[in-house]
Amino acid sequence: MPNTPVLVIHGGAWAIPEDMVDAHLRGVRNAIAAGWRVLDAGGTALDAVEQSVVIMEDDDTFDAGRGAFLNREGKVQLDALIMDGATLRAGGVGCVEHLRNPIRAARKILSESPHIYFVAEGAERFAVEHGIPLCKNEDLIIPREVERLREFQSHLAEHEKDLFAPTISHDTVGAVALDCDGNIAAATSTGGTLNKAPGRLGDSSLIGCGCYADNASAAASTTGWGEPIMKLVLAKWSADRVSAGNSPEWVAPEAMNYLQARVQGHGGIILLDARGRFGIAHNTPRMAWAFKTSKEEAAGIER
């Protein structure tokens, strides 16, 4: 008997300001619609999460792809990971500067490379060799982010203590899906943190930290302050709690409690198991999210 597909996505957990709420809601709704079309046509969970993330990478509302945060030198550096719960295969890229859709390159690595992870020039060379064109870094930069970086750097002394405060955007995007064959998958993509040091890698593209999928436990995508999430390997921690018999609805908020209590971290998580149960949680003021099943659909900023 075919499974009933489920798709859950997030568009970042932080203090999303009022004037950006509508854009975030529109963005996650567009992404859920695109991913659902894949699942509804009998497509795989892998294809669905990839397609949902591509839509958000192309939407400059989010900190992924075009419109992502600029690093200390005024460049966009992107990270992404995609993982298949059926096989535990994964593909990731880090610190790429010339790819519009890093999740596309990550997917190529998953399906066509014996390796899991490529960074910087090596990742871009792999992309070109597999038919993914490069772009100029300037093509990924928008005026809003140039001004955001200028403003941040002009008050750097004030910001030193709150570089990772929830008021600073963490618009990492992600998706988890269950397909009709009973397989789950996860994908996460990000531009990282505003004013980050060149070469800094966060949690988003690291297996078990910002992204994880295993049919035997759960698929997870996180967002937020990367360094604390990495210390706890939070996506894998959450999947393990599901494997131990807890529901994703319970584990997701517990993961946020654990993140705060253990390392004073903040962020958000989406979590889905192969039974179609899912959880959405965050400990920041807001998180953009959406989900869709055959019977229900919703999107929001707070939950």
Q: How far apart are CA 213 and CA 221, in angstroms?
A: 9
Cα–Cα distance list, 156 to 32, 50, 149, 195, 198 (Å): 37, 36, 10, 10, 17
* CATH class (in words) of the domain with range 6-294: alpha beta
In this predicted model, what pLDDT tens digit does every residue of 80-128 receive, in sequence order?
Answer: 999 999 999 999 999 999 999 999 999 999 999 999 999 999 999 999 9
Give yes or no for residue 160 having a pLDDT over 90. Answer: no
Q: What is the 8-class DSSP label of residue 142?
A: -
Q: What's the mean pLDDT when you consider all of the chain?
A: 94
Catalytic member of 4, 61, 167, 172 = 172
Burial of 9 (0-12, 13-18, 19+ CB in 10 A): buried
| Strand pairing category for 78-84 and 219-224 | unpaired
Q: CB–CB of 124/96 below 8 Å? A: yes
Report which of 209, 222, 216 is spatially closest to residue 271, judged by C-alpha positions: 222
CA distance 75 to 135: 13
The residue that leads in pLDDT, 18 or 164, is 18
**Confidence grade of residue 183 (pLDDT, cut at 50, 70, 90):** very high
Domain ranges, ordered by start, for the chain: 6-294
Where do we find the tokens 């698929």? Answer: 219
- At 164 the pLDDT is 53
Provide the pLDDT confidence category of residue 1 given band limits of 50, 70 and 90: low
Distance CA(97)–CA(289), nearest Å, equals 27
Mean pLDDT of 3-29: 94
293 is a catalytic site residue:
no
pTM of the model as a whole: 0.96
